[in-house]
Amino acid sequence: MIVEIEIPFWQDPQCHVFTQHYRDDLITYFTCWDDNAELIKNKLGEIFFNDVLSVKIESKIRSYLVDEPEYRSSIYEVLDSKVIRKYLKKREKWEYSKVNIKDYRCFVVNSHDYQIVIIAKKYTFKLISVDPHTDVIYKKILELN
């Protein structure tokens, strides 16, 4: 079962999401629209995922879809995810310590023509101003759109 989690700002549906992954964290960046479906200049939507176990990109397919979107902008949570169980089974072969499946959730971030499937403990949403660090990301996203 898939449930929507509303993003508190409007993700540009044409945007190619930019990801930044380091250690056990993943950050997704994307451009946002205002209420008139116009680009909000010099702002990026950011979703910060903590305690990430796995990230998978699915291109040119949409494995996870809701029947009727409830929100104009959302991420998905896959409840009772087989993805988590499969990953943890593989991990147990490599590492002897047990990971509690109840601590992790399976999230899906939609991009222009692909989905990012993330196994993580938690996330936070932010609408951020472009700064010297994110300026390169912002320009790259605009270049792709």
pLDDT tens figures, 1-41: 899 999 999 999 999 999 999 999 999 999 999 999 999 99
Residue 55, pLDDT score = 94
- Count of structural domains within the chain: 1
Residue 130, pLDDT score = 97
Residue 64, pLDDT score = 80
Per-residue b/e over 92-123, b at no fewer than 16 CB within 10 Å?
eeeeeeeeeeeebbbbbbbbeeebbbbbbeeb
pLDDT < 70 positions in the chain: 92-99
Residues of the domain holding 50: 2-144
Residue 93, pLDDT score = 67
User: How much of the chain is in helix, strand and coil states, percent to nearest 5?
Assistant: 20, 40, 40
